[in-house]
Structures are given as structure tokens and as C-alpha cells.
Chains A and B, each alone.
Chain A
Amino acid sequence: MSSNELVYIATIIPLILVITVIIIIVLFIRKKNKLLFEKQQNELNYLSEINKAKIEIKDTILKQVASELHDNIGQILALNCMYIKSLKKEYSEEKMGMVGDLAEKALNEVRQLTKLLNDDLIRNYSLIEALRKLKEYLSKLSTLEIKLSILGNVVVLDANVELIIFRICQEFITNSLKHANCDQIDMALEYSETQLRVGLQDNGDGFDIAHISEGNGIFNFYNRAKMINAQIDVRSEESKGTALSLIYNFPNHG
């Protein structure tokens, strides 16, 4: 082997090794960056979904409050106006007493509403308390009968997880009220040592689940459940109501 050939070989072999090492490190770092970027993106999506859920909860409450103002307090005040007008024509102690009672009733309703508006349900209460408040409020609002049963020892979950579960329940109830023509909703939360099972059932019209499009609100349930690594199943049959079942495994129990 000539000395020139030896120099070429002795240069090219280490050079190839050096380039290979650099390429491996660069590829490794790029792969790591890609994974980190995806992780950060998922975290951002999670946070944005949490914020979205918070806003939706507020929106739903505001809509309910607006409807309460219109249907309940509005009616009480309208009735009160009628009594006041008739008092102008003809004074009577009985009518005066009715005016006072109605004003007091309206005041109480406004107080209750103000309390609801000031409450950030999930921030101030646990999931169970928030669901109880929701049930209490909706039962008062309509003829809808809502049953809430809690089984097992209640486990306090991460605030964001509770928020998402609450939002799923709230959305199910809102959908049932809007579209299902139901008069009864059963909510059941069952805590075991390893998981929380949430069951929701209405006795409404139901729908054919095979014919729903991708933009349907049902997919919101699945997306939200996926965010907290929960398993969810929505079943519905025409004229047999809709049922939702969610299983959330506690983090330390896989």
C-alpha cells in the first residue's frame, strides 16, 4: 500500500466515523425535540380544553340564569305590576299584602340567582357538591326530575379532572333538556378503590347513534374523556333514551 493510499484511508475512516457520530447525535436530538414538541402541544391542547370547558360551564349557567330571569322572576314582577296597577284603581289590604309577598319572592329569587352567578361551581365546590347544586337548580327550574346517587367512598380528584367530568355531565343534561324531550335524568357516581364510574341516563327520544355526523356534540364527550384518559361509552336508541357511561381510573391504579 502506497503512503498516499494510507493517508487517504487513515483520513477517510476517522472522518466517516466523526460524521456518523455527529449525524447520530443530531438525529437523536431532533427526535427528542419532536417528542418534546408533541408533548408541549398536548399540554397546550389540554389547557385550552380546560379553559374551554370552564367557559362553557359559565355560559350554560348564564343561559340558565337568563331563562330563570325571564320565566320566573319576570313573571313574578309582571304579576306584581298588575297588582300595583289594580291597587291604583282600587285599594285593598289583600292586594297590598300580595304585592309585598310577590316583591319578597322576587327578591329571594334574585338573591339565589346572584349566589349562583357568584359561584364558580367547580372551583369552589367538589364534583359531588357541584353536581348537587346543578341538580338542585335544574329541578327548581323545570318539571324535569333529576336523580343523583353517590355510591362508595368519595375520592377527591384533580381539579381539572373533576371539571371535565362535571362538564360532561352538564353537557349531557343540557342536550337531554334541549333535544330529548325527557322528564327524567338519572345520574350515578360510583367510587371504588381504583376508579370512578359515572352513569347518566335519560328517558327521552333517543337517536340512532349510527347516523350521527362527526361534528355532533357526542364527539365532545369522547374528546374530553380522552383528555383525562377516561373510557366513555354513549348508547342511544330511538324512543328508548340515551345512556352515557364513563370510567375514570385513578392515576395510581393504572
Chain B
Amino acid sequence: MIAKVSYLIILITIVIGFASYRNRSGILKLLPWYLCLVFTLEMIAYVLLKTKRHNMEVYDIMTIVEFSYFSALFYRNAQLGYSKYMILIFTVLFAGSLVLFYGNIYRYTFYNLISTFMSILFLVVMSVDYLIAELRSNNIISFNNNPMIWISIGLLLYMSCSAFIVISNYLKIVYTNHSLIHNAVTFVSILSLYSCLSISLLCKKK
């Protein structure tokens, strides 16, 4: 039930994204397409799960797509020079972790845990950095025409929940004993991310 509601939330966000397609420019214009890709991958993961096959490889691909899109978005919208520099370093480190995993140099688990964790950590840092830069800037922040604020807030909340889920899965604390808690937290994280993304998609042009 929770999974179906989550897919519905993603679908609604996609519809909003295409309905307000003209409101955006640059990388933000790709947001509905990115959401379509995420939705497709979620469907593939769902089918694999239902046919009792491993779906972690799909989530590994999703991690790459997610990190690539959002890091590019933050890079383009970074206000300070050091933020751009930091994002470049994160990208190199993330690419390094992919090389380690897919080059069979170092595999800690059967799925790409290191890249997943790095992606979560780096995206949280990028979101916080963007929010701090906005809060410290001398510009008046408008909630109506600043999609990046909503994307940062949504991503910060989603990634914080994801960190909880990834760590708890790895340590087998929550998932084994209380899969319901895992599902509920996942649902809340999806709800908060896609609500914020929907608001960002509804933002007017600056």
C-alpha cells in the first residue's frame, strides 16, 4: 500500500513537472525527465522484487543518476566559488567509489554501499551548503520564484531519512525487526522530497 502511494506521489510530481515545463530553464528543465527516469527505475525495481529477484543493482543505477543530476544542479546554482570547488571534489570522490565497485577493485557488499553512502552524505552537504549560502546572502529569498530552496529542503530531508535507512539496513537493526518502521520512514522521506519538488516545479520564473 505504502509503495503504491509513493509511486502515485512521484507520478503527480511528474505531471506537475510537465504541466509547468515552460516555467523553467537550464538544468531545471530536465527535472521532469529525471523524475520519469526515477519512476521507470522504481517500476523495474518493483517488478524485480515481485519476481523475487535482487533489485539493488537498479537502486545502484538510481544512486548514480540521482547524484549526477543533483550535483550538476547545485553546481550550476552555487553562489560561492568554494561551493563549486567542493562539488567538483565530491564528484571526483563519487566517481572514484564507482570505479572501485564496478572495477571489482573493492566490494564491501554485493550492492554499491560506499557510493550510496557517499551520494547521501555529499548531497546532504550540498543542500546544507546551498541553504546556508542563501541564508547568509544579502538577497531577499522568495518562496515563489526560488525552486532551488525547495529542492534543497526536500533533498536534505530525503537524504537524512535515506541515511537512516541505509545505516539501519546495513546494521540490520530496523529492517530485520521492524520492517514497518523502515517502510514508514521511506514513505515520509518520499513524501517530503516529492512535495518539495512539486512546490519547486510550481515556482514562477525569476
Interface residues of A (CB under 8 A from B): 3, 6-7, 10-11, 14-15, 18, 21-22, 25-26, 28-29, 32-33, 36-37, 40
Q: How far is A7 from B180 in the complex, measured between Cα atoms in Å?
A: 6
**Complex alpha-carbon distance, A94 and B38, angstroms:** 107
- Given A6-B180, A29-B149, A32-B141, is A18 in contact with B135 using a C-beta cutoff of 8 Å? no
Q: Chain B residues with Cβ under 8 A from A25's Cβ?
A: 131, 153
**Nearest-neighbor residue (CB-CB) of A34 within chain B:** B140
Contacts of A29 in B (CB 8 A): 134-135, 141, 143, 149
Binds A, one of B41-49, B72-80, B181-189: B181-189
B148 at the A/B interface (Cβ < 8 Å)?
no
**How far does the alpha carbon of A199 sit from the alpha carbon of B139 in the complex, in Å?**
41
Contact present for B188 and A28 (CB under 8 Å): no
What is the CA–CA distance of A241 and B79 in the complex, to the nearest angstrom? 59
Find the A residue at minimum CB distance from B192.
Answer: A18
Interface assignment of B22: CB less than 8 Å from any CB of chain A: no
List 9 A-B residue pairs with CB atoms under 8 Å apart, sorted by A's residue number. Answer: A6-B180, A10-B178, A10-B180, A10-B181, A14-B189, A18-B157, A22-B192, A32-B135, A37-B140
B residues in contact with A15, CB < 8 Å: 188, 191
Q: Which residues of A contact B185 (CB under 8 A)?
A: 10, 14
Residue B138, interface by CB 8 Å: yes
Closest 6 CB pairs of A and B: A10-B184, A14-B188, A11-B184, A10-B181, A18-B192, A33-B140
For A18, list chain B residues within 8 Å (CB).
Answer: 157, 188, 191-192
Interface of B is mostly: helix
CA distance A22 to B156 in the complex (A): 10
Contacts of A3 in B (CB 8 A): 180
Specify which chain B residues have a CB less than 8 angstroms from the CB of A28 in the assembled complex: 135
Q: Which residues of B contact A6 (CB under 8 A)?
A: 178, 180-181
Please give the residue numbers on chain B whose beta carbons come within 8 Å of chain A beta carbons, in ascending order.
131, 134-135, 138-141, 143, 149, 153, 156-157, 161, 178, 180-181, 183-185, 187-189, 191-192, 196
Closest Cβ–Cβ distance, residue A27 to chain B (whole Å): 12
Partner of B157, one of A21, A26, A32: A21
Give A2 Cβ to nearest chain B Cβ, in Å: 10
Residues of B close to A33: CB separation below 8 A: 140-141
* Distance (whole angstroms) from the CB of B79 to the closest CB of chain A: 15
With the chains together, A26 CA to B191 CA distance in Å? 18
Task: Please report the C-alpha to C-alpha distance between residue A117 and residue B114 in the assembled complex, in whole angstroms.
Answer: 77
Q: A11 touches which one: B135, B138, B141, B188 (CB < 8 A)?
A: B188
- State the CA gap A3–B192 with chains docked (Å): 23
Measured in the bound complex, the distance between the Cα atoms of B178 and A15 in whole Å is: 18
Tell me the bound Cα distance from A114 to B10 in angstroms: 76
Closest chain B CB from A150 CB (angstroms): 39
In the bound complex, CA of A40 to CA of B139 (Å): 10
| A8 nearest CB neighbor, chain B only | B184
User: Is B180 a contact of A26 with CB atoms below 8 Å?
Assistant: no
Docked pose: A6 CA to B157 CA in angstroms? 21
In angstroms, Cα B140 to Cα A209, docked, is 43
Q: How far is the CA of A28 from the CA of B131 in the complex (A)?
A: 11
CA distance A3 to B2 in the complex (A): 14
Bound together, the chains give a CA A14 to CA B138 distance in angstroms of 33
Known: A7-B183, A28-B135. 12 other contacts (CB 8 A): A6-B180, A6-B181, A10-B183, A14-B188, A15-B188, A15-B191, A18-B188, A18-B192, A21-B156, A22-B192, A33-B141, A36-B140
